[in-house]
């Protein structure tokens, strides 16, 4: 499974980020989310949503094998194993592996789908990965 | 203090002192946050008789308990101050991302006091807060400065600015945020300009403490689901508040040529489908909104980006000025936003001037050459600039607001100065809608619609009826809608999608750990309403019934054309509505809360101080 986003439908409200932080950290804090909204204002006036495509590059480059797949075949980082070497962060083509100064590990989208539930304009959805 | 950041930031602009202090728990308990906290602080901290533009007045920027949480529409906050436009209470709400960011930075309220000797901006990055030089930004427009600050500080910073109108102390200057959101009414931007505070930039990395996280998330997700499944979600999201334009036009409520008529012969050219098709680029939501009313637009004709026009601007910069081209309205909207003018008050002031011009009371010398007839969009653009910069006799006059301008010009023009308490009326014609007229007469900031949008009720029960039930409806709405302003969330999920009000009390209980019932929340809202009334009583000498008088146009002159052709509300009918209202509120015949009312609401001790 993976998360998909339609930029044209996103209104930039960030409910998805809060739902995400509640799932991942049990905290109401959008700065701890595993997807990103990039506003482009005042021109051209659009939102860009960056989500994990579950490409697996992160797991490939991780030198300590801290990145695994869950039952949905979505990648996740084991906080206990992560050494914060930043290899995955540098490698991620979407820029959706996140860090914070107060945490000693990185995190990414585990395709839980909580963001989808709170997206009013239905700009987000989760489905089986399209095989390339 | 779950649900709250727990502290307030106090910024003294006179001496540059910045301190933090705990948010008073007993005040939150009695008044909630945002609008409620702001009203309490205004009452207790601003001395009676303070000059709104002097150092004694303060500007309170307050978030609410729901602000920044996972709750539908949790993106609202309140700017509270003593109004330079009306001399009374001003509370202006704004959406966007600011309220969430202030809370993540760890503040329930930012208290701005004193007056800076030179232009500055307030920089907040979590615990770091400082005043920075803003000499280089003075004179800049709102969009331009927001872009510049984001470029300099980073996209994550949320920005609030005043434009040239705020710097020039135009009495209805707004505070702008998020490329198109404004705390519009009552001159909150004028106060910020008077304090020489050009902007606020804030970034926060913290979270919001929740008493019962699992339960709060469960309620919030259920509320989001209800919004997503609402029948009206698609059409509402497509058009936003513009949806109401055609309805108003058909029902004689679309202000036209300074509220002379409630229907506009070019109406269909400014209806929502034309707007969506011609200029809308993106739906733009405030924080946590499942049904974004914001429509970000681009006018090819004028080569401008603007958020909007939303309905109020469409009415006040469109039909009320006789302007029937949606791209011209978008341009006027953009000018007001960039210069930092409230579109409603600016529209009301210009409409009044246009009527004066057409009636021969203002001549072309006085307009500095502008051919100020209704429908002249170019003249409108020019006049907006002049008002914001106080250029010329007319620009300077209109910058004072329509009540002042009419008093100065006289010759009967007071009769078509459409205001209550000195605040220009927003975009619903009230010739023939007694509840809505009462809502305007009694709104706690002046003639603004958002405290009680009762016009659909008028139409459903009989628009010219004068009954105690109508007054009761206005009071009910005046408690529910401003309650949302005290919770720090938007009302439109309830108003437009029909999201149940049953979510609010359980969400507040799970968030704060304090047991709330809906009745309890409404009781707090009534307390806040009465406190804002007492601010008027304290600040305005001789305050009383005449301050609730309707604009004379609606009670003396019949509407011209449309479905309300020939209709007006007899003055005695308006007064009878006011009698019903005062009685039900527990106010005396002069509209002053009775001692037993203040006692019942737990305000007696506070207001005696």
**Beta strands A2-5; A124-127: pairing state:** antiparallel
A128 pLDDT band, cuts 50/70/90, is: confident
Burial class (CB in 10 A: 0-12, 13-18, 19+), B596: exposed
**Helix H or strand E encompassing A4:** strand A2-5
Give the pLDDT score at B414: 98
Which CATH number belongs to the domain containing residue B473 in this structure?
1.10.599.10
Residue B218 lies in a domain: no
Segment B342-351 mean pLDDT:
98
Residues of B in contact with A24 (CB under 8 A): none
Nearest to A41 among B75, B179, B289 (CB): B179
Find, among B405, B438, B184, the residue nearest to B316 by Cα: B184
The answer on B320 and B248 residing in a single domain is: yes
Which CATH number belongs to the domain containing residue B141 in this structure?
3.60.9.10
Domain boundary among B188, B203, B218: B203
Reported ipTM: the value is: 0.96
Give the rounded distance of the alpha carbon of B169 from its chain centre.
Answer: 18
- Check whether A132 has a pLDDT greater than 80: no
The answer on B589 and B441 residing in a single domain is: yes
Q: Provide φ and ψ at B355, rounded to 5°.
A: -65, -40
Residue B287 lies in a domain: yes
The answer on B175 and B102 residing in a single domain is: yes
A19 touches chain B (CB under 8 A): yes
C-alpha to C-alpha distance for B415 and A4, rounded to whole angstroms: 58
Nearest to A118 among B143, B208, B224 (CB): B224
> Concatenated DSSP letters for A70-92?
-TTS-EEE-TTT-----HHHHH-
- Check whether B265 has a pLDDT greater than 60: yes
CA atoms within 13 Å, Cβ hemisphere of B341: 35
Q: Spell out where B58-191 has E strands.
A: 59-63, 77-82, 89-94, 109-113, 120-125, 128-133, 158-161, 175-177, 181-183
Residue B390 lies in a domain: yes
Residues A61-88: tens digit of each pLDDT: 999 999 999 999 999 999 999 999 999 9
The answer on B173 and B110 residing in a single domain is: yes
Q: In the 3-class helix/strand/coil scheme, how is B377-416 assigned residue by residue?
A: HHHHHHHHHHHHHCCHHHHHHHCCCHHHHHHHHCCCHHHH
Q: Provide φ and ψ at B287, rounded to 5°.
A: -55, 125
Residue A29 lies in a domain: yes
Nearest to B289 among A38, A43, A120 (CB): A120
Residue B599 makes CB contacts below 8 A (sequence gap 6+) with none
Tell me which residues of chain B, numbers 137 to 156, contact chain A at a CB-CB cutoff of 8 Å: 143, 146-147, 155
C-alpha to C-alpha distance for B306 and B280, rounded to whole angstroms: 9
The answer on B89 and B15 residing in a single domain is: yes
Residue A69 lies in a domain: yes
Q: What six digits make up the tokens of B176? A: 């702008």
Q: Tell me the Ramachandran region of residue B315: left when phi exceeds 0, alpha when psi lies from -120 to 50, beta otherwise.
A: alpha
Find, among B173, B149, B170, B169, the residue nearest to B159 by Cα: B149
A95 touches chain B (CB under 8 A): no
- Check whether A16 has a pLDDT greater than 60: yes
Nearest to A27 among B146, B179, B207 (CB): B207
As for how many domains chain A has, the answer is 1
The answer on B236 and B135 residing in a single domain is: no
Are residues B155 and A43, on separate chains, in Cβ contact within 8 Å?
Answer: no
Residue A8 lies in a domain: yes
The answer on B444 and B386 residing in a single domain is: no
Q: CB count, 10 Å around CB of B245? A: 29
Residues A21-53: tens digit of each pLDDT: 999 999 999 999 999 999 999 999 999 999 999
Average pLDDT, chain B: 98
Residue A132 lies in a domain: no
C-alpha to C-alpha distance for B500 and B544, rounded to whole angstroms: 37
Show the domain range for A55.
2-127
Domain boundary among B395, B424, B453: B424
Q: Cα–Cα distances in Å, from B333 out to B5, B185, B293, B585? A: 35, 15, 16, 38
**Helix H or strand E encompassing B12:** strand B7-12
Give the distance from residue A122's alpha carbon to the nearest chain B alpha carbon, in angstroms.
8
Residues of B in contact with A33 (CB under 8 A): none
What number of C-beta contacts closer than 8 Å exist between A and B? 113
- Check whether B609 has a pLDDT greater than 70: no
**Beta strands B109-113; B59-63: pairing state:** antiparallel
Give the global pTM: 0.98
B608 pLDDT band, cuts 50/70/90, is: confident
Residues of A in contact with B283 (CB under 8 A): 9, 11, 121
Tell me which residues of chain B, numbers 505 to 534, contact chain A at a CB-CB cutoff of 8 Å: none
The answer on B282 and B177 residing in a single domain is: no
Segment B99-111 mean pLDDT:
98
As for how many domains chain B has, the answer is 3
Residues of B in contact with A100 (CB under 8 A): 205
Domain boundary among B389, B405, B424: B424
Give the distance from residue A66's alpha carbon to the nearest chain B alpha carbon, in angstroms.
26
Show the domain range for B521.
434-498+517-608
The answer on B374 and B291 residing in a single domain is: yes
User: What is the distance between the terminal CA atoms of chain B, rounded to a whole angstrom?
Assistant: 27
Segment B458-466 mean pLDDT:
97
CA atoms within 13 Å, Cβ hemisphere of B120: 20
Quote the percentage of chain B above a pLDDT of 70. 100
The answer on B312 and B199 residing in a single domain is: no
B290 touches chain A (CB under 8 A): yes
C-beta separation of A93 from B264 below 8 A? no
Bridge partners, B158 (sequence order):
B202
Give the distance from residue A132's alpha carbon to the nearest chain B alpha carbon, in angstroms.
31
A12 touches chain B (CB under 8 A): yes
Residue B146 lies in a domain: yes
Give the pLDDT score at A131: 55
A129 pLDDT band, cuts 50/70/90, is: confident
Residues B38-68: tens digit of each pLDDT: 999 999 999 999 999 999 999 999 999 999 9
Q: What angle do CA B374, B380, B381 make, to 5 degrees?
A: 160
The answer on B466 and B596 residing in a single domain is: yes
The answer on B267 and B120 residing in a single domain is: no
Residue B129, classed as helix, strand or coil, is strand
Which CATH number belongs to the domain containing residue A81 in this structure?
3.30.70.20
Q: What six digits make up the tokens of A7? A: 């930029």
Q: CB count, 10 Å around CB of A23? A: 18
């Amino acid at each position: 499974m993976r998360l998909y986003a339609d930029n044209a439908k996103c209104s930039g409200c960030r409910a998805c980020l809060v739902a995400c932080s509640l799932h991942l950290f049990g905290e109401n804090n959008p700065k701890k989310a595993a997807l990103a909204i990039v506003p482009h204002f005042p021109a051209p006036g659009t939102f860009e949503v960056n989500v994990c495509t579950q490409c697996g590059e992160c797991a490939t480059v991780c030198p300590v094998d801290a990145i695994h797949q869950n039952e949905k075949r979505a990648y996740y980082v084991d906080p206990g194993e992560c050494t914060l070497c930043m290899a995955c962060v540098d490698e991620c083509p979407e820029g959706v592996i996140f860090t914070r100064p107060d945490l000693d590990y990185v995190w990414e989208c585990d395709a839980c789908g909580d963001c989808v539930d709170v997206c009013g304009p239905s700009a987000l959805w989760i489905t089986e990965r399209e095989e390339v | 203090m779950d649900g709250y950041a727990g502290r307030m930031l106090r910024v003294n602009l006179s001496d540059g002192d910045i301190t933090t202090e705990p948010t008073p728990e007993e005040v939150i308990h009695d008044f909630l946050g945002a609008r409620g906290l702001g009203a309490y602080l205004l009452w207790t901290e601003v001395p009676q008789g303070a000059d709104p533009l002097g150092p004694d007045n303060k500007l309170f920027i307050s978030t609410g308990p729901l602000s920044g949480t996972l709750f539908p529409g949790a993106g609202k906050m309140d700017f509270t101050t003593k109004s330079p436009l009306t001399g009374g209470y001003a509370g202006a709400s704004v959406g966007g991302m600011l309220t969430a960011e202030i809370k993540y930075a760890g503040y329930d309220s930012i208290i701005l006091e004193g007056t800076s000797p030179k232009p500055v901006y307030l920089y907040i990055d979590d615990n770091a807060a400082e005043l920075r030089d803003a000499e280089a930004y003075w004179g800049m427009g709102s969009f331009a400065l927001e872009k510049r600050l984001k470029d300099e500080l980073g996209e994550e910073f949320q920005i609030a600015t005043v434009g040239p109108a705020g710097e020039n102390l135009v009495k209805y200057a707004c505070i702008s945020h998020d490329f198109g959101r404004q705390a519009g009414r009552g001159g909150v931007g004028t106060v910020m300009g008077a304090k020489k505070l050009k902007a606020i930039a804030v970034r926060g990395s913290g979270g919001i403490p929740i008493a019962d996280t699992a339960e709060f998330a469960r309620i919030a997700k259920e509320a989001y689901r209800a919004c997503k499944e609402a029948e009206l979600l698609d059409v509402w999201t497509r058009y936003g508040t513009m949806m109401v334009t055609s309805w108003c036009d058909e029902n004689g409520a679309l202000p036209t040529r300074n509220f002379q008529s409630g229907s506009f012969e070019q109406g269909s050219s400014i209806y929502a489908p034309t707007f969506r098709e011609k200029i809308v680029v993106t739906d733009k939501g405030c924080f946590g909104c499942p049904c974004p009313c914001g429509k970000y637009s681009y006018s090819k004709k004028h080569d401008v980006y603007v958020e909007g026009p939303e309905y109020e601007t469409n009415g006040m910069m469109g039909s009320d000025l006789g302007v029937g081209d949606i791209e011209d309205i978008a341009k006027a909207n953009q000018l007001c936003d960039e210069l930092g003018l409230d579109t409603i008050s600016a529209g009301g002031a210009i409409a009044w001037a246009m009527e004066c011009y057409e009636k021969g009371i203002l001549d072309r010398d006085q307009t500095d050459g502008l051919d100020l007839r209704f429908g002249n969009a170019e003249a409108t653009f020019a006049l907006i600039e002049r008002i914001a910069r106080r250029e010329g006799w007319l620009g300077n006059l209109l910058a004072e607001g329509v009540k002042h301008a009419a008093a100065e010009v006289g010759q009967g023009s007071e009769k078509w100065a459409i205001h209550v308490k000195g605040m220009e009326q927003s975009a619903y014609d009230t010739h023939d809608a007694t509840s809505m007229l009462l809502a305007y007469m009694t709104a706690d900031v002046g003639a603004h619609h958002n405290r009680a949008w009762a016009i659909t009720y008028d139409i459903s029960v009989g628009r010219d009826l004068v009954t105690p039930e109508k007054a009761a409806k206005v009071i009910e709405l005046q408690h529910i809608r401003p309650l949302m302003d005290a919770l720090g969330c938007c009302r439109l999920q309830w108003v437009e999608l029909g999201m149940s009000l049953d979510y609010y009390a359980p969400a507040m209980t799970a968030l704060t750990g304090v047991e709330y019932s809906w009745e309890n929340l409404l009781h707090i809202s009534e307390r806040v309403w009465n406190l804002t009334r007492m601010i008027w009583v304290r600040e305005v000498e001789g305050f009383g019934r005449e301050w609730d008088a309707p604009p004379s146009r609606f009670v003396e002159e019949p509407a011209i054309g449309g479905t309300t052709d020939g209709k007006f509300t007899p003055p005695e009918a308006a007064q009878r509505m006011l009698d019903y209202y005062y009685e039900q509120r527990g106010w005396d015949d002069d509209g002053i809360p009775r001692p037993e009312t203040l006692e019942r609401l737990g305000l007696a001790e506070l207001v005696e101080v």
